[in-house]
């Protein structure tokens, strides 16, 4: 868990923090190792642990006491499957405070129960043990709308982010890498990239702009798996919307880089051709890019 937390804080995301070894952690370690001129073993070897040990003050978990802000919602209960029923919701919000808390600390309700006991109570005033991903700064730019700044804070995304000069998505590796002007790897995130029906569009693209807390316009004509008789729908914004909390538009029609309502599925399921990240990773990435940032998609 501590290795996952450190990598998350340093910008080499393992995705959902679950305290388990696996492919996501291996890829995150390889990214960190590449950025720090270490042997790319993908394992927490001696040299890697020595490099990470610079951050001795960062514990794996931290205790937080839940306050009024953790219960503001809106909480909408389980998300219905049909887009028509989703469009009727007041927002594509979290099901309940436990799901919101899990996203805030880049994990799952199951991991929170593992840390706090099966009888964990998510109520105001209770103190819980959570992964230590509290943001270093919440001094977001004054140009951000208050609701977007609040979303960043609710996802534990720090205001201090480097600027990316180029993004590279490797389909074979299942990661998105961000590089600075000097060509140095500065961040890496696990991604879901396309499917057999909607493959990743290999080529050189650019980010045209970013939409924060976007509504989702469902057009059944654009989805191969749409059911007969389904109609166009507009789903209200929210973290459980099909594109999560942010959409980074590409100069290829209908394609973008975005968040997801199901972070545990990143790298494990398919998408409709777009590049999907956890909400917290997508929000972080959105602070690194600007209109015109190149996005190179490779096999």
SS3 letters for the chain?
Answer: CHHHHHHHHHCECCCCCCCCCCHHHHHHHHHHHHHCCCCCCCCCCHHHHHHHHHHCCCCCEEEEECCHHHHCCCECCCCCCCHHHHHCCCCCCECCHHHHHHHHCCCCHHHHHHHHCCCCCCCCCCEEEEECCCCCCCCCCCCCCHHHHHHHHHCCCCCCCCCCCEEEEECCCCEEEEECCCCCEEEEEECEECCCCCCCCCEEEEEEEEEECCCEEECHHHCCCCCCCCCCEEECCCCCCCCCCEEEEECCCCCEEECCCCHHHCCCCCCCCCEECCHHHHHHHHCCCCCCCEEEEEC
For residue 230, pLDDT over 80 is answered with no
For residue 213, pLDDT over 60 is answered with yes
In which residue are the tokens 């952690």 written? 25
What digits encode the pLDDT tens for the residues 95-113? 999 999 999 999 999 999 9
CA distances from 104 to 72, 202, 287 (A): 14, 33, 17
Of 81-85, 103-107, 161-165, 272-276, give the lowest mean pLDDT range.
Answer: 272-276
Q: What angle do CA 258, 42, 178 make, to 5 degrees?
A: 35
Q: Say what the pLDDT of residue 231 is.
A: 80
All residues at 6 or more sequence positions from 247 whose CB lies less than 8 Å from its CB, including other chains = 210, 211, 214, 256, 257, 258
Q: Say what the pLDDT of residue 194 is.
A: 66
Pairing of strands 294-298, 166-170: parallel
CA distance 59 to 77: 33
What digits encode the pLDDT tens for the residues 124-173? 999 999 999 999 999 999 999 999 999 999 999 999 999 999 999 999 99
Q: Say what the pLDDT of residue 268 is.
A: 66
The answer to whether 259 and 242 have CB atoms below 8 angstroms apart is no
Q: Say what the pLDDT of residue 97 is.
A: 97
Q: Is the dihedral of CA 284, 287, 291, 296 positive or negative?
A: negative
Q: Say what the pLDDT of residue 156 is.
A: 98
All residues at 6 or more sequence positions from 20 whose CB lies less than 8 Å from its CB, including other chains = none
Q: Say what the pLDDT of residue 166 is.
A: 98
CA distance 181 to 223: 37
Q: Which band of pLDDT confidence, cut at 50, 70 and 90, is reported for residue 226?
A: low
Average pLDDT over residues 269-290: 87
Q: What integer best gives the mean pLDDT of the chain? A: 93
What digits encode the pLDDT tens for the residues 169-197? 999 999 999 999 999 999 999 999 866 66
Average pLDDT over residues 251-256: 93
Percent of the chain surpassing pLDDT 90: 85
């Amino acid at each position: 868990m501590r290795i996952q937390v450190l990598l998350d804080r340093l910008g080499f995301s393992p995705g959902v923090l679950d305290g388990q070894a696996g492919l996501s952690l291996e890829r995150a370690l390889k990214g960190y190792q590449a950025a720090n001129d270490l042997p790319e073993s993908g394992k927490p070897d001696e040299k890697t642990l020595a490099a990470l040990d610079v951050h001795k003050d960062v514990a794996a978990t931290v205790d937080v006491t839940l306050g009024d802000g953790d219960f503001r919602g809106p909480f909408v209960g389980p998300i219905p499957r049909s887009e028509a029923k989703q469009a009727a919701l007041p927002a594509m919000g979290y099901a309940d405070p436990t799901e919101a808390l899990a996203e805030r600390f880049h994990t799952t309700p199951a991991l929170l129960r593992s840390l706090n006991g099966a009888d964990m109570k998510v109520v105001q005033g209770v103190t819980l043990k959570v992964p230590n991903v509290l943001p270093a700064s919440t001094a977001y730019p004054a140009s951000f709308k208050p609701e977007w700044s609040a979303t960043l804070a609710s996802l534990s995304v720090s205001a201090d982010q480097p600027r990316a000069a180029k993004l590279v998505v490797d389909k074979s590796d299942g990661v998105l890498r961000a590089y600075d002007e000097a060509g140095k790897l500065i961040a890496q995130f696990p991604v879901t990239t396309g499917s057999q029906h909607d493959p990743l569009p290999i080529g050189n693209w650019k980010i045209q702009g970013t939409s924060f807390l976007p509504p989702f316009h469902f057009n059944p004509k654009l989805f191969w798996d749409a059911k007969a008789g389904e109609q166009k729908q507009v789903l209200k914004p929210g973290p459980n919307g099909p594109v999560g909390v942010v959409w980074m538009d590409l100069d290829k029609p209908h394609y973008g880089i975005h968040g997801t309502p199901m972070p545990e599925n990143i790298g494990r399921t398919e998408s409709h051709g777009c590049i999907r990240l956890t909400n917290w990773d997508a929000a972080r990435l959105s602070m690194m890019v600007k209109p015109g940032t190149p996005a190179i998609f490779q096999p």
